[in-house]
């Protein structure tokens, strides 16, 4: 009988010890979770110490990107919202695309693809290499001036590129291109000549100008404008000494 009592007491002691151990483990786990959560929320213990910017950059300033991060995202490395930061960086001037990645333990990798300004659009905007309009401070480089109705940006840029390719053989370039509401094309070349190409077959009509331009240069008159809206031939407006226009 005494042996059974001793055995029961021993089992009871083991059970108490096991419960105490389990309680200690649970309390330790709760404390560890609380401590880790508190540590993650403390930006001073896990600050972003390094911002690494990559990608070809001419107009994008690294300090502007870093300022965006420091001013809008004061959180710790762990709490920083990568998706929100990605949208903010892509909204910066001259940024076409961007990617944002965290790098353990305290760095950010920012890769940017810069807008390439291909033309000025309606005097106050720019078109990138894909014909998308974007807002940025106008660059100092010489760019063609394109004008047209809203939504015609890609049409105007593609038309400019096709026509400039034809003109490269003449050493002429397009200074200004006008695309009307009815999609009629008008050009002003770098030598001041104005071309009216109309709505259809504008590339073929420009080729007609390229073919006849060597003959026009031999004239003792200065060309003011050329109307190419004819099935065959063209109309030339000349400038005389008093700048009055004459047509032939």
> Could you tell me how many helices (H) and strands (E) the chain has, helices first?
5, 13
Please write the tens of the pLDDT for every residue from 110-164. Answer: 999 999 999 999 988 999 999 999 988 877 778 999 999 999 999 999 999 999 9
pTM value > 0.75: no
List the domains of the chain with CATH numbers: 50-114 (3.10.20.310), 119-247 (3.40.50.11690)
Q: Percent of the chain scored above 90 by pLDDT?
A: 55
Of 30 and 16, the one with more pLDDT: 30
Please write the tens of the pLDDT for every residue from 161-184. Answer: 999 999 998 889 999 999 999 999
Given a cut of 80, whether residue 243 has pLDDT beyond it is no
Averaged pLDDT for residues 2-11:
59
Count the alpha carbons within 13 Å of 13 in the hemisphere toward its beta carbon: 6
Please write the tens of the pLDDT for every residue from 28-77. Answer: 888 888 877 776 665 556 677 889 999 999 999 999 999 898 887 766 77
Region of poorest pLDDT, from 42-46, 82-86, 103-107: 42-46
For residue 126, the cross-strand partners are: 120, 134
Asked whether 203 and 211 are in contact (CB, 8 A), the reply is: no
- Is the peptide bond preceding residue 105 cis, with omega within 30 degrees of 0? yes
Q: pLDDT-derived band of residue 199, with 50, 70 and 90 as boundaries?
A: very high
Given a cut of 60, whether residue 197 has pLDDT beyond it is yes
């Amino acid at each position: 009988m005494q042996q059974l009592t001793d055995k029961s007491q021993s089992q009871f002691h083991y059970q108490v010890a096991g419960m105490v151990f389990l309680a200690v483990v649970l309390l330790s786990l709760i404390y560890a979770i609380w401590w880790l959560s508190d540590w993650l929320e403390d930006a001073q213990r896990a600050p972003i110490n390094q911002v690494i910017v990559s990608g070809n950059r001419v107009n994008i300033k690294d300090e502007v990107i870093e300022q965006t991060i420091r001013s809008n995202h004061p959180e710790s490395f762990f709490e920083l919202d990568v998706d929100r930061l990605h949208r903010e960086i892509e909204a910066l001037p001259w940024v076409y695309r961007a990617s944002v990645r965290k790098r353990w333990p305290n760095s950010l990798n920012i890769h940017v693809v810069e807008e390439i300004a291909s033309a000025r659009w309606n005097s106050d905007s720019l078109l990138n290499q894909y014909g998308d309009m974007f807002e940025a401070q106008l660059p100092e480089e010489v760019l063609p001036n394109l004008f047209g109705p809203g939504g015609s940006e890609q049409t105007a840029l593609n038309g400019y590129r096709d026509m400039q390719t034809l003109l490269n053989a003449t050493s002429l370039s397009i200074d200004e291109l006008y695309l009307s509401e009815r999609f009629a094309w008008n050009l002003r070349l770098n030598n001041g000549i104005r071309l009216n190409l109309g709505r259809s077959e504008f590339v073929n009509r420009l080729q007609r100008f390229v073919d006849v331009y060597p003959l026009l240069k031999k004239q003792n008159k200065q060309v003011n404008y050329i109307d190419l809206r004819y099935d065959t031939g063209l109309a030339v407006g000349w400038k005389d000494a008093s700048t009055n226009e004459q047509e032939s």
